[in-house]
Structure 1
């Protein structure tokens, strides 16, 4: 049996970096999802096995907390492991380090569900490969950041922008890509903001699917300060325009000054 923890090397490519030469959070998030795929694929419950059976993984929640962001050409490693597995969801953690493990950039936590690609309904994860995922649960590896929490945004949040979902927003599952939401949310803040702030923690909860042609409305408000520190937190709710129950995403972004 393979090890419970997988570690995968990545190079920070300059075209995945922002104007400050640091890796985009969206690009890092994409690397996290790739690491998840590599880990599950090599252990027998990945996308290729599932797709042949009309099943797939869908990301339900993601939290990423960074001490610092790597810069162009840095060699990084992403370690990932399954912390727990239940009938309808599983939790997966990440550590982002330099490849020599001398620098710890940050950590991530995620929650995944499995759906039937025909009905879009949840699937019992523990029935796949006879519950094989349970053999790879790792409980001894520490992930020292808070679990994804509930984002409590008020109905008074201000409409910040409206965006129509198009070709580059859609992924292999036929819905808006998880990382594309992150990009659109971080674009709510201008370059001047990012010259003096960086993302410390990003939490996102995926509530419902959206698709090509959907017009998404981004509502944002600043969270009340919980304690005296240099953090500023913003809350965002994404709603499908014209839908009676159209909420698709909620997220919170904590910034620190640089």
Structure 2
């Protein structure tokens, strides 16, 4: 681990065989887990991680994530995540990340939007007066293009019903970010991932989903390289996503 300064935080990893996907690479779900982990470690380094916020019955939650990868780390390869805060307002904090190989070559980038919720009301908290954020804004920018507006899929080429279960839920007692991503990724066959790489992922979390909730996972893959998905119940979207693929 390296903490170069309070505004920037770097964490190093080694990709083990047990963590790999069928293509012997870092799975996108592990990328998402690392995003959450590194953000948490940086917040902990400021003294404003879970143990501090829970004193006020509050916690950080992800609102949007955009990932761009030129390639994914391979089995037994070292890699690192570096994170910093670019901006924030009353409602959201924008945290960026850069993914590098062991030689420091950039292989991916991340844009994330976070918010703080009150666990009792399940509503957002005003973060504009949090001094630890305002004191640690970085002038470093992200190479990742901002996320566009994602829409509910209304003309699905495939729809799948799913009921969320105990292991889909996290410490906030709602569906875990990675579990959403697993569900979305499983709408495509293994052969697609063998032939194509997810170059860009956009995902937005719209409404909480709880254990026992049944949803429809709607996919439109008319454009096989630019696929849209939404996790819906009736007219309500819980999660919307866009997967941009490219040939391997």
Under a length normalisation based on structure 2, what TM-score does the superposition of the two structures give?
A: 0.94
| Distance in 1 of aligned mates of 2:235 and 2:116 | 23
Aligned partners of 2:204 and 2:240 also within 8 Å: yes
For residues 80 and 168 of structure 1, do their structure 2 counterparts lie closer, same or farther at Cα, with a shift above 3 Å needed? same
Structural RMSD (CA): 1.7
- The DSSP-based 3-state class of the residue aligned with 1:60 is strand
- The DSSP-based 3-state class of the residue aligned with 1:217 is strand
Aligned to 1:95: 98
For residues 118 and 153 of structure 1, do their structure 2 counterparts lie closer, same or farther at Cα, with a shift above 3 Å needed? closer
Q: Is 1:38–2:41 an aligned residue pair?
A: yes
| 1:153-168 aligned within 5 A | 153-168=152-167
| Distance in 2 of aligned mates of 1:245 and 1:54 | 31
Q: Deviations over 1:192-242 (max 9, x none)?
A: 111111100000000000011111211111365xxxxxx8100001013xx
Q: Is 1:249–2:239 an aligned residue pair?
A: yes
Aligned to 1:112: 114
> Which aligned runs of 4 or more in structure 1 are off by greater than 6 angstroms?
none
Under a length normalisation based on structure 1, what TM-score does the superposition of the two structures give?
A: 0.90
| Distance in 2 of aligned mates of 1:14 and 1:117 | 37
Aligned to 2:146: 147
Match of 1:72 among 55, 75, 78: 75
Aligned partners of 2:215 and 2:232 also within 8 Å: yes
| 1:1-258 aligned within 5 A | 2-101=5-104, 103-128=105-130, 131-139=131-139, 141-222=140-221, 232-240=225-233, 245-258=235-248
Aligned residues: 245
- The DSSP-based 3-state class of the residue aligned with 2:41 is helix
Once the 2 structures are TM-superposed, how far is the Cα of residue 142 of structure 1 from its aligned partner?
Answer: 2.9
- The DSSP-based 3-state class of the residue aligned with 2:225 is strand
| Distance in 1 of aligned mates of 2:146 and 2:47 | 26
- The DSSP-based 3-state class of the residue aligned with 1:30 is helix
| Distance in 1 of aligned mates of 2:132 and 2:127 | 9
List alignment gaps of at least 5 residues for structure 2. none
| Distance in 1 of aligned mates of 2:203 and 2:83 | 19
- The DSSP-based 3-state class of the residue aligned with 1:179 is helix
Aligned partners of 1:45 and 1:133 also within 8 Å: no
| Distance in 2 of aligned mates of 1:246 and 1:3 | 40
- The DSSP-based 3-state class of the residue aligned with 2:183 is helix
- The DSSP-based 3-state class of the residue aligned with 2:30 is helix
For residues 13 and 155 of structure 1, do their structure 2 counterparts lie closer, same or farther at Cα, with a shift above 3 Å needed? same
Once the 2 structures are TM-superposed, how far is the Cα of residue 168 of structure 1 from its aligned partner?
Answer: 1.6
Q: Deviations over 1:146-189 (max 9, x none)?
A: 01211135522244211111122101110000111111111111
Aligned partners of 1:223 and 1:235 also within 8 Å: no
Once the 2 structures are TM-superposed, how far is the Cα of residue 47 of structure 1 from its aligned partner?
Answer: 1.5
Aligned partners of 2:230 and 2:239 also within 8 Å: yes
